[in-house]
Amino acid sequence: MKTIPNFSRQQGAALVVGLILLVVITILAISGMNTATTELAMARNDQNYENAFQGAETGLEALLAQGTWDPVAGATVTQVINDHDSVTATLVYEDWSIVPDKAFSLGSGSGVAAHHFLATSAAESRREPGSTTDRDSTATHTQAFYIVGPEPQTLGN
């Protein structure tokens, strides 16, 4: 003999459990998408900072490659790398001193001096205007150095 199921006793528990599981999976999916979007923005911002960092290094290299060591005029290099990235590097003469003992055995009155310069490179990397997740980045690098040359009193002779 076959038993006929009594549908009047079912209360829809499978439907409720299924809907709850669907809500939980939807929340997990939305959370995963938000996390992925945030990580993508972080990666773009990190790349933007790297562009500014490398731009500042490029500015220093371009400035020092000129070989212009004029104590009076200094030097400036401005480069537009692309639509978003640019760099400006400046060279400033600071002062002169006697040549450090470890470098040469010459001292004061020898006619030789150490001329101190400071090279500064400021780069900026700008992203798309109006973007809420991308950030502009800047980087400033400095490098101090000296060049051995005649003392300032003997420069005009």
Residue 122 resides in a domain: yes
Structural domains counted in the chain? 1
The percent of the chain in helix, strand and coil, each rounded to the nearest 5, is 40, 30, 30
Mean pLDDT within 147-156: 71
pLDDT tens digits for range 85-141: 999 999 999 998 887 665 555 555 567 888 899 999 999 998 876 676 678 899 999
The answer as to whether 81 is a domain residue is yes
Is there a domain that residue 8 lies in? no
| pTM of model > 0.75 | no
State the DSSP code for 9.
G
Q: In sequence order, what DSSP letters do the residues of 88-143 get, joined into one string?
A: EEEEEEEEEEEPPTTT-S--TTSSEEEEEEEEEEEEEE---TT-SS---EEEEEEE
Domain assignment present for 84: yes
Report pLDDT for 157: 45
Is residue 107 within 8 Å of 134, Cβ to Cβ?
no
User: pLDDT value at position 109?
Assistant: 58
Evaluate whether residue 4 is within a structural domain: no
pLDDT, tens digit, for every residue of 2-44? Answer: 777 666 666 778 888 999 999 999 999 999 999 998 898 899 8
